[in-house]
Amino acid sequence: MLECQKHYFDLPEEINYLNCAYMGPMLKQAQEIGHEEIDKRGRPYLYKRDDFFSPVQSLKESFSKLIDNTEADRIALIPSASYGLSNAAKNIHCTKGQSILIVSEQFPSNYYTWKRLADEKELEVKIIGPPNAETDQSRGWNEAILEQIDEHTAVVAMAIVHWADGTLFDLGAIRQRTEKYGAMLIIDGTQSIGALPFSIKEIPVDALICGSYKWMFGPYGLGLAYYGERFDQGVPIEENWINRKNSKQFENLVNYQKIYKPQAARYSVGEQSNFIYVRMLDISIKQILKWKPVNIQNYCKNLITPYLSEFRSIGCAFNSKENLAYHLFGIRLPERVDIIKLKNHFEEKNIFISIRGNSIRVAPNVYNEPKHIEQLLEALKKVLG
Ligand SMILES: Cc1ncc(COP(=O)(O)O)c(C=O)c1O
């Protein structure tokens, strides 16, 4: 069982940070590497040819381990989730009249991308909303998604957990249904990979797109994407030298090369060798691999479970236990709560958390302790009266 790992982070004692879904704190080790690399950039003659390639390869291998992928060449480096999604959208084979399925209130980067494709190719965007059931939203929502996947579906684009309230989707069942109809399944893992176990072998999605600055503690501006076989012959949204075959031969670069490097390499962003960010993210993922996502998820579970009934006793509601992602979940507050008062009270008590409508989004990680959940409970009790 994992103990509290707060000593790996630079979070001040008086701060109650329950908002990893907004931005994860950087690990001290990553900060050190970042400083080291910035210093090195003052001396460009220190950069060798291999510095453009080896750290990137190491990062691809680390991320592969995190998602249980055995082919590191299936990983591309992306500057944002929207970039990775755009590469996927550009390579969906679809015909007029087909549909794109997304879920309601999906993160904007994972909506606009598909809206554009739909407008360009005359497709229909079907937005699947949650059922009305107050207590077991996940089950009904999953059922509604499965029902809507049929022979007209070109692509299902969604996340593993809903970014706003943590609803956990049944990707295994959704994958089976998309396979049955030959539809692509494109997953945004930004709010789950790192804190929730995921295996590409078990759920072979067509693409898995992840920003890293939340649950992978990565730098803002570098993410990772997995692209499966159906993207092997695709066209990337931009062309750059390093993604072509033999790009290690610097002296030969203007003997222009028709062939891309294999698998997903064509989808990596230009200047992917980003010396500072690549090493920072690599060391962060390596630390997560030592902790293991399953232990991180259990850590969050053990942190919150003892308090669930007390939250309920003051009128708060959760998704049912089976469908709760413990690293990111919504608490629906009673109607009577004064949100402005609650917000001010959280600020006063240094509690960092997202408030959305009549819900709060709790997003703990391995640096949180029971006292942080107790403080949250106390704050809610105080404002609810
Ligand atoms: C589910 C989800 N996807 C993606 C992102 C980030 O998207 P982008 O990298 O396009 O800014 C966020 C940020 O909050 C998110 O919650």
- For residue 385, what pLDDT is reported? 80
Phi, psi of 146 (to 5 degrees): -60, -40
Nearest to 89 by CA among 225, 213, 265, 270: 225
CB under 8 Å to 256, separation ≥6 — which residues?
Answer: none
- Per-residue pLDDT reduced to its tens digit, 69-109: 999 999 999 999 999 999 999 999 999 999 999 999 999 99
Q: Whose CA is nearest to atom 16 of ligand 1?
A: 163
Query: 110 C-alpha vs ligand 1 centroid, how far in Å?
Result: 8
Q: Is pTM beyond 0.75 here?
A: yes
Does CATH place domain 30-290 in 3.40.640.10?
A: yes
- Rounded CA-CA distance 17/117 in Å is 38
CB under 8 Å to 226, separation ≥6 — which residues?
Answer: 63, 67, 69, 74, 75, 76, 200, 205, 207, 208, 264
Query: 255 C-alpha vs ligand 1 centroid, how far in Å?
Result: 38
Which tokens go with 184? 């692509």
- Domain edges within the chain: 6-18+292-384, 30-290
- Rounded CA-CA distance 118/113 in Å is 9
Which tokens go with 321? 């236990």
- For residue 358, what pLDDT is reported? 87
Query: 155 C-alpha vs ligand 1 centroid, how far in Å?
Result: 19
Q: Domain 6-18+292-384 falls in which CATH fold?
A: Aspartate Aminotransferase, domain 1 (3.90.1150)
Nearest to 110 by CA among 93, 96, 127: 127
- For residue 133, what pLDDT is reported? 61
- Rounded CA-CA distance 25/23 in Å is 6
- Per-residue pLDDT reduced to its tens digit, 257-295: 999 999 999 999 999 999 999 999 999 999 999 999 999
Residues with CB under 6 A from ligand 1: 80-82, 107, 109-110, 159, 163, 188, 190-191, 211
Query: 189 C-alpha vs ligand 1 centroid, how far in Å?
Result: 9
Which tokens go with 152? 């007209």
Query: 93 C-alpha vs ligand 1 centroid, how far in Å?
Result: 25
Q: What is the pLDDT along the chain (385 residues), one digit of tens a residue?
A: 899 999 999 999 999 999 999 999 999 999 999 999 999 999 999 999 999 999 999 999 999 999 999 999 999 999 999 999 999 999 999 999 999 999 999 999 999 999 999 999 999 999 999 887 666 678 889 999 999 999 999 999 999 999 998 999 999 999 999 999 999 999 999 999 999 999 999 999 999 999 999 999 999 999 999 999 999 999 999 999 999 999 999 999 999 999 999 999 999 999 999 999 999 999 999 999 999 999 999 999 999 999 999 999 999 988 776 778 999 999 999 888 899 999 999 999 999 999 988 899 999 999 999 999 999 999 999 998 8
Pocket probe mutation, ligand 1, options 19, 107, 160, 212, max atoms within 8 Å of Cβ: 107
Pocket probe mutation, ligand 1, options 190, 212, 220, 356, max atoms within 8 Å of Cβ: 190
User: What one-character DSSP code corresponds to residue 134?
Assistant: S
User: What one-character DSSP code corresponds to residue 212?
Assistant: S
